[in-house]
C-alpha cells in the first residue's frame, strides 16, 4: 500500500486563477435594441501542454469553437460547439464537445432556460465553496482553467425581483460528476480502480439549487442553498480478495448526497474590494462510509487591490471540521493467526483509503489553512498581460506556482504561454499528482 493514493485533481485551479461565472448567453448575445438579433462567433486555436515527468505531451490539440445566439422577441437560444483533434496521454483523440446548448424565455423580470448550461456561483477567485452546480474535467489541461468547466442539463429560472435583487432557482434532473480519472494513477502493485457506477436517474437523485442575490451600489452579497449529489467525490473499497495469499484490492469512485448553505459578499473599500465566501456542508452516514466527508465549513476571505494596470489579489482559504475524529492505525493482535492476519490486512486497506479520502476533502485535520496570491498587469497599450499565481497550504506544506504571459498581436490573434509547478511532502496529494500535473503550456488563438 506504499504507493496507494487517489487522483484528487481538484488541485489544478489552486493557482488562484479566476473562473468566470458569466454564461455564454451573457457574452454572445447582446441587446442591440432591435427586435431580432442573431450572433455567430468563435475561435480557432492550437494548444499544447506537456514537458512533465510522466508525459512529454500531456495534452495537445487543434480546436474550432462555434458560438451562436438568437434573440427574437422573448425567445432566446445559445450554443457553444467545439470540434477538437489531437493527443491526450499518448492517445489520439477526435472529439465533439457541446459546451453549452440551451433555449428559453427572457423578459425584463424573468428568464427560464432549459438545456446544457454552465453556471458558477461565488464572489471569490478560483476557490468557491458555494459553487456546487458545475462539474469539472480536472484532466483537461490547457492554458485556460475555464476549459475544465463542464455543462449540466438543467432547468434554470432567474427572477429579477427588483433592479438590485434577483432569485435564481436551478433544477438538475440528471447527476453529472466531475472527471478525476483515478485509473491513471498507481495505487499499489495489487490494487486498481474499476469504473464508477452512477446514481439512478430518478427524481429522488435529482439536484436542486437556489440563490438569492443582492447587488447594491455599496455592497453585493447572496445566500445560496444546494441539495443533491456533490460533483466532487471520493472513492470506496470495491473488493478485497485473498485468493493469491496477498490482498488484491479494487477501488471504485463513490458518490454521496449533501446539503450546502452558502453565503458570499463583495464590499468595495476605496481602492480595495473585500470578498468573502463560506459554505457549510451537511452530510449523512459519514461515520459508516469512508467516501462521505464529515459535516464541515469551508470559507475564503480575500482582498483585491488595483492600481493603474496592476491588480493584486490575496486570499486566505480555510476548512473546519467541528466533529473531527482522528483515525487510528490498525494493530495486528496475533501474527500467527491467519484469520487475524486477514482481518488486519482488511482494516489496513480501509484505514489507508479513509486517510486519502480525508485528504481529498481537506478533512485530515480539524483545521486546514492555506493562502493564495495572484498579481497581474496589462502593459504595452493592454496588449501584453502578465500574471503570476501562487498557492501555499500552511497545514500540509504543499505549494504551487503558475506564471502566465499572453500577447495580443491584433486581428483577433493572441499567444499565451506559461508553466505550472506543484510539490509537497512525501505522501501528500501535491507530491503524488505532480508528475502529471506539472507542465508548460503554449497556445495560439485566433478569434472571429
Identify the DSSP state of 289.
-
At 183 the pLDDT is 66
Burial zone of 62 (CB within 10 Å; 0-12 exposed, 13-18 middle, 19+ buried)? middle
* 195-198-201 Cα angle (round to 5): 155
At 6 the pLDDT is 38
Q: Poorest-confidence range of 137-141, 168-172, 317-321?
A: 137-141
- Between 98 and 185, residue with greater pLDDT: 98
- Whether residue 288 is predicted with pLDDT greater than 80 in this model: the reply is yes
Residue 394 lies in a domain: yes
Rg (CA), the chain: 23
Residues 22-32, mean pLDDT to the nearest whole number: 39
Each residue's pLDDT tens digit, 328-379: 999 998 888 989 999 999 999 999 999 999 999 999 999 999 999 999 999 9
DSSP letter string over 46-73?
EEEEE--SS-SEEEEEEEEEEEEEEEET
At 11 the pLDDT is 36
At 180 the pLDDT is 84
Distance of CA 337 to the CA centre of its chain: 47
3-class secondary-structure state, position 291: coil
Sorted by sequence, the CB contacts under 8 Å of residue 205 that are 6+ apart come out as: 175, 199, 228, 229, 257
Residues 238-249, mean pLDDT to the nearest whole number: 89
- Side-chain-side CA neighbours of residue 396 (13 Å): 30
Residue 4 lies in a domain: no
Residues 416-430, mean pLDDT to the nearest whole number: 93
Residue 247: pLDDT band (50, 70, 90) is confident
Q: What percent of the chain has pLDDT over 90?
A: 79
Residues 1-14, mean pLDDT to the nearest whole number: 37
Each residue's pLDDT tens digit, 252-275: 999 999 999 999 999 999 999 999
3-class secondary-structure state, position 408: strand
Distance of CA 397 to the CA centre of its chain: 21
Residue 1 lies in a domain: no
| CA pair distance 345, 190, nearest whole angstrom | 13
Q: Poorest-confidence range of 27-31, 102-106, 189-193, 408-412?
A: 27-31
Whichever domain contains 229, its CATH number is 2.40.160.10
Residues 85-91, mean pLDDT to the nearest whole number: 93
At 277 the pLDDT is 98
Q: What is the mean pLDDT of the chain?
A: 90
- Whether residue 411 is predicted with pLDDT greater than 90 in this model: the reply is no
Kindly list the strands in the beta sheet with 234-241, ordered across the sheet, starting from the edge strand earlier in the chain.
191-193, 248-254, 234-241
Supply φ then ψ for residue 394, to 5 degrees. -65, -35
Residue 2 lies in a domain: no
Residue 245: pLDDT band (50, 70, 90) is confident
With beta carbons less than 8 A apart as the criterion, state whether 446 and 20 touch: no
- Whether residue 7 is predicted with pLDDT greater than 50 in this model: the reply is no
Each residue's pLDDT tens digit, 180-223: 877 666 667 788 899 999 999 999 999 999 999 999 999 999 99
- Side-chain-side CA neighbours of residue 219 (13 Å): 8
Residue 433 lies in a domain: yes
At 69 the pLDDT is 96
Q: Which domain, by its residues, includes 56?
A: 9-447
At 126 the pLDDT is 87
At 17 the pLDDT is 38
Cell of 440: 508548460
How many domains does one find in the chain?
1
For the whole model, what pTM was predicted? 0.86
- Whether residue 401 is predicted with pLDDT greater than 80 in this model: the reply is yes
3-class secondary-structure state, position 187: coil
At 35 the pLDDT is 65
Amino acid at each position: 500500500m506504499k504507493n496507494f493514493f487517489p487522483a484528487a485533481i481538484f488541485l489544478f485551479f489552486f493557482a488562484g486563477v479566476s473562473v468566470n461565472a458569466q454564461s455564454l448567453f451573457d457574452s454572445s448575445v447582446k441587446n442591440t435594441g432591435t427586435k431580432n438579433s442573431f450572433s455567430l462567433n468563435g475561435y480557432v486555436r492550437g494548444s499544447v501542454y506537456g514537458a512533465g515527468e510522466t508525459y512529454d505531451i500531456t495534452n495537445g490539440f487543434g480546436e474550432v469553437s462555434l458560438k451562436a445566439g438568437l434573440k427574437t422577441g422573448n425567445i432566446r437560444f445559445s450554443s457553444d460547439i467545439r470540434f477538437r483533434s489531437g493527443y491526450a496521454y499518448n492517445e489520439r483523440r477526435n472529439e465533439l464537445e457541446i459546451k453549452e446548448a440551451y433555449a428559453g424565455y427572457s423578459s425584463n423580470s424573468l428568464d427560464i432556460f432549459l438545456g446544457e448550461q454552465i453556471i458558477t456561483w461565488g464572489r471569490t477567485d478560483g476557490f468557491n465553496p458555494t459553487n456546487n452546480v458545475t462539474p469539472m474535467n480536472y484532466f483537461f489541461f490547457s492554458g485556460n482553467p475555464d476549459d475544465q468547466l463542464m455543462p449540466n442539463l438543467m432547468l434554470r429560472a432567474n427572477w429579477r425581483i427588483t433592479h438590485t435583487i434577483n432569485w435564481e432557482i436551478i433544477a438538475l434532473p440528471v447527476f453529472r460528476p466531475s472527471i478525476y480519472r483515478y485509473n491513471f494513477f498507481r495505487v499499489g502493485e495489487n490494487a486498481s480502480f474499476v469504473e464508477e457506477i452512477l446514481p439512478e436517474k430518478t427524481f429522488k437523485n435529482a439536484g436542486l439549487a437556489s440563490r438569492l442575490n443582492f447587488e447594491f451600489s455599496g455592497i453585493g452579497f447572496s445566500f445560496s442553498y444546494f441539495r443533491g449529489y456533490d460533483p466532487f467525490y471520493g472513492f470506496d473499497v470495491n473488493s478485497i480478495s485473498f485468493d493469491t495469499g496477498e490482498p488484491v484490492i479494487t477501488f471504485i469512485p463513490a458518490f454521496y448526497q449533501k446539503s450546502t448553505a452558502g453565503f458570499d459578499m463583495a464590499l468595495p473599500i476605496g481602492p480595495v474590494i473585500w470578498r468573502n465566501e463560506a459554505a457549510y456542508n451537511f452530510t449523512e452516514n459519514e461515520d459508516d462510509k469512508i467516501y462521505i466527508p464529515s459535516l464541515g465549513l469551508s470559507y475564503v476571505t480575500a482582498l483585491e487591490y488595483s492600481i493603474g494596470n496592476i491588480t493584486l489579489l490575496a486570499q486566505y482559504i480555510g476548512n473546519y471540521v467541528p466533529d473531527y475524529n482522528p483515525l487510528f492505525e490498525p494493530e495486528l493482535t496475533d501474527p500467527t493467526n491467519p484469520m487475524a492476519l486477514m482481518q488486519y490486512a482488511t482494516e489496513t486497506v480501509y484505514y489507508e483509503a479513509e486517510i486519502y479520502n480525508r485528504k481529498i476533502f481537506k478533512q485530515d485535520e480539524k483545521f486546514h489553512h492555506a493562502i493564495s496570491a495572484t498579481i497581474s498587469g496589462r502593459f504595452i497599450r493592454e496588449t501584453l498581460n502578465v500574471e503570476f499565481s501562487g498557492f501555499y497550504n500552511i497545514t500540509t506544506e504543499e505549494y504551487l506556482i503558475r506564471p502566465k504571459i499572453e500577447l495580443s498581436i491584433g486581428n483577433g490573434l493572441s499567444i499565451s504561454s506559461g508553466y505550472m509547478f506543484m510539490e509537497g511532502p512525501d505522501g501528500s496529494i501535491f507530491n503524488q499528482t505532480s508528475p502529471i500535473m506539472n507542465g508548460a503550456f503554449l497556445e495560439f488563438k485566433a478569434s472571429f
